[in-house]
Structures are given as C-alpha cells and as structure tokens.
C-alpha cells in the first residue's frame, strides 16, 4: 500500500466479515493512512497476514495482522480506532481508549443504547460504571441521515445495527411528519443474509441448514428491538420486530406495515420520503410500483426505500433494502468517519 499521508488509524477485528469489509474500504480511503490491523487476541499468535484469512486480498502487498496492544497504537500515532469486535470487548475497551484520547468508531452494539431497559438485553458488566456513563453521554448514534450535525467532531460514534438502519430509515420520515398511527401498531418484518450472523461456524450457519431453507428467529426477543424503539421514540407496545434468515450471503430487506393517521395519496408518501432524504447521497427513494430488491443495493452503501399504499390510502407497506455489511455496518462507519472529520460524505464510498 505504500506510505500514504493521512489520518493514522487502526482496526480491531479485521478478520470478521464486517471488519474485513471495513478494512477494504479504509485501504482505499484517500484521507486515511493504511490502517494498523489488530486482532483482539493480545497474545503472540495473532500475527499473520490478512491475505491468509481472506485470500481475496492477496497480491496487494503486506496486510499484516498484529495482536492488540495499546502501546502499538501510541507508537504508530494512531488517533482513530475502529472496533469491529463483539460488544463486550468494545464496552470494556472504550474507557481506556478515551483515556488515551483516541477517537473511536465502534461497529458493535456496545454504546448504542441509552435506555437501561433496552441495554439490559446485552448484560454488560462495566468495571467502571461512571466511566461507562460518561461515554454513553458522549457517544453519538451514527445514523448519518439523522445525526449529521451531531457527528461532526464526535469523539465516540456508535455505529448502528444493520436491521435498525433498515427499519429506522424507512420509518423516520413518516413518523417525523406525524403521519403514522402508532397506536394501531407497526410491524417490521425483516429478512437478512447470513453474514449478519457472523463468521463463527455454528450449526445455524452450516450450509446445509441454510440453503433451501428459511426461518424466523428471535421473535419478540431480538436485541436490535431496543435500538429501533429508542431512535424512533416508539413505545415497546407500538412495534413488533421480527427477523428471518435468508439463504443468501448478504443483504437485508425489511417489510414494514403501518396505519396512517389520515388518507394519503402515493405522491404524498413519496414526497415525504424524498423531502426527508433530500441531500442524502446514500438513500434512494423508489416510486411505486417499483420496489427495492436486495440485489440493487448489494455491494453499495445505499439504503433503498420504496412503498405500496392500499386503495383506501390508509395502510402503507414500506420496503427497505441495504447491504448489511456496507450501509448496515462498514460503509456506514466510513460515512460516519467522513462526517466526523467534515469530509465529503461520499469519500471512499463511490
């Protein structure tokens, strides 16, 4: 990659699906120095090259993986840390990272939730609750379309979950305009590809259990529910959120059912969506009868949103699609990076 000028940064967790996708984006980002690639294991056996784990990137020079150590970050002058780790790790490491003055973009769920009841789903055990609370106050929930201003200069960015990104972006405009009858209940029926389940080999991710199959999981209990409720200001009784596993590697489609407060024309719904996302380069609004499909946003940072309205004009089905590894994770992290530093939002994402 050569010695390129730019912000010195590091990635922890480059060998996971999200971390790998992130690393590929960061390597191409024109305003970053090539990232230091760190594994969570602090022992000696974390060494190696990313191309051994992902031969996809072989032939591009050395992409050395090193065991994590705070001193390495200091020695390399790292000022920006990306965490693509389990939430427990990110929860435990943030206080030290902040003490060392590191800016952090955390792709895990560690710092996304402010509502204790929702956070309880993660069972975090904070060694220093006061430090944790301070970070919570500081962390910006990094959904760029909703938090563009707060992101500028943010020290801690909590990068949103993949499912919540797809549901929140679809609902925010209509909820914001007061057009949804939330009391009648919203249903978000989401479907995701298998990279969303992580790279760990489990019985649930075995090819034979997934291919030619389809299933619902975590009905009423998915940990992303709190994230959606909190960001949209909904009460738990106002949303049912379910998740399903698609026999594809990547991509999310959410089908979302709402009752409108009053009869609307399709043009009004479209205008509401388009108005809300004016100036947002990574949201595409589809006009009926065209609906988003997973294939359209694969390998892009787009969130695509479309809808269908019933004849009566009061029942609305929203359909949103995104690539769970990009707009649902690594791409969104880069978008956040750009906004934090005040760069062009599309930098490194074209």
Where along the sequence are the contacts to a copy of itself (CB under 8 A)? 17, 28, 55-56, 58-59, 184-185, 187, 189, 191, 194-195, 199, 201-203, 205-217, 219-220, 237, 240, 242, 244, 246-249, 251, 253, 255, 257, 259, 284, 286, 290-300, 302, 308-312, 315, 317, 319, 350
Separation of alpha carbons 253 and 43, rounded Å? 40
203 CB-near residues (< 8 Å, 6+ apart): 209
Contact predicate 157/340, CB 8 Å: yes
Separation of alpha carbons 328 and 301, rounded Å? 8
Residue 156 CB, nearest approach to a copy of itself (Å): 30
Residue 318 CB, nearest approach to a copy of itself (Å): 10
Q: What is the DSSP letter of 7?
A: B
For residue 298, report the phi and psi dihedrals to the nearest 5 degrees.
Answer: -60, 140
Q: In sequence order, what are the beta bridge partners of 38?
A: 12, 66
131 CB-near residues (< 8 Å, 6+ apart): 95, 98
Q: For residues 72 and 184, which CB has a smaller minimum distance to a copy of itself in the complex? A: 184
Q: For residues 76 and 315, which CB has a smaller minimum distance to a copy of itself in the complex? A: 315
Q: For residues 79 and 293, which CB has a smaller minimum distance to a copy of itself in the complex? A: 293
Residue 16 CB, nearest approach to a copy of itself (Å): 11
| Catalytic status, residue 272 | no
Residue 7 CB, nearest approach to a copy of itself (Å): 21
Contact predicate 231/146, CB 8 Å: yes
Q: Dig out the tokens for 67 from the structure.
A: 């065991």
Residue 329 CB, nearest approach to a copy of itself (Å): 14
Dihedral in degrees, nearest 10, Cα atoms 269, 275, 278, 280: -50
Cis peptide preceding 157, ω within 30 of 0 = no
Residue 71 CB, nearest approach to a copy of itself (Å): 31
Which string of DSSP letters, residue by residue, matches 26-48? HHH-TTBPPPEEEES--SGGG-E
CA distances from 105 to 45, 89, 332 (A): 26, 13, 10
Q: For residues 157 and 309, which CB has a smaller minimum distance to a copy of itself in the complex? A: 309
Q: For residues 42 and 295, which CB has a smaller minimum distance to a copy of itself in the complex? A: 295
Q: For residues 134 and 280, which CB has a smaller minimum distance to a copy of itself in the complex? A: 280
Residue 60 CB, nearest approach to a copy of itself (Å): 10
Adjacency order of strands within the sheet including 36-39: 48-49, 64-67, 36-39, 9-12, 80-83, 103-106, 156-158, 140-141
Whose CA is closest to 269, among 346, 149, 174?
174
Q: For residues 28 and 150, which CB has a smaller minimum distance to a copy of itself in the complex? A: 28
Between helix 266-276 and helix 162-176 the angle, nearest 10°, is 120
Catalytic pick among 162, 272, 303, 321: 162
Active site residues: 162
């Amino acid at each position: 990659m050569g010695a390129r000028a730019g912000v010195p940064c590091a990635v922890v967790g480059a060998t996971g699906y999200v971390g790998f996708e992130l690393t590929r984006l960061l390597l191409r980002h024109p305003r970053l120095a090539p990232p230091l690639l760190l594994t969570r294991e602090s022992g000696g056996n974390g060494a190696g090259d990313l191309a051994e784990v992902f031969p996809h990137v072989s032939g591009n020079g050395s992409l050395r993986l090193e065991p994590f150590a705070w001193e390495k970050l200091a020695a390399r002058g790292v000022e920006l840390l990306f965490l693509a780790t389990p939430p427990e790790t990110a929860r435990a490491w943030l206080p030290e990272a902040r003490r060392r003055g590191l800016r952090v973009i955390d792709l895990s769920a560690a710092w996304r939730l402010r509502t204790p009841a929702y956070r309880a789903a993660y069972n975090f055990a904070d060694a220093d609750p006061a430090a944790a609370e301070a970070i919570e106050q500081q962390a910006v929930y990094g959904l760029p379309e909703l938090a563009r201003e707060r992101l500028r200069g943010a020290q801690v960015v909590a990068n949103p979950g993949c499912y919540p990104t797809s549901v929140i972006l679809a609902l925010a405009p209509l909820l914001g305009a007061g057009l949804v009858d939330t009391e009648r209940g919203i249903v978000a029926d989401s479907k995701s590809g298998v990279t969303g389940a992580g790279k760990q080999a489990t019985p649930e991710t075995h090819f034979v259990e997934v291919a030619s199959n389809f299933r619902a999981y975590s009905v009423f209990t998915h940990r992303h529910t709190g994230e959606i409720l909190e960001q949209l200001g909904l009460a738990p009784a106002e949303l049912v959120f379910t998740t399903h596993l698609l026999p594809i590697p990547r991509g999310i489609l959410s089908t979302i059912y709402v009752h409108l407060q009053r009869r609307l024309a399709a043009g009004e719904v479209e205008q509401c969506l388009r108005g809300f996302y004016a100036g947002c380069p990574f949201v595409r609004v589809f006009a009926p009868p065209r609906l988003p499909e997973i294939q359209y946003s694969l390998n892009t940072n787009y969130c695509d949103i479309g809808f269908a309205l019933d004849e009566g004009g009061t029942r609305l089905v929203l359909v949103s699609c995104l690539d769970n590894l990009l707009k649902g994770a690594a791409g969104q992290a880069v978008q956040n990076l750009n906004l934090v530093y005040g760069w062009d939002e599309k930098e490194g994402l074209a």
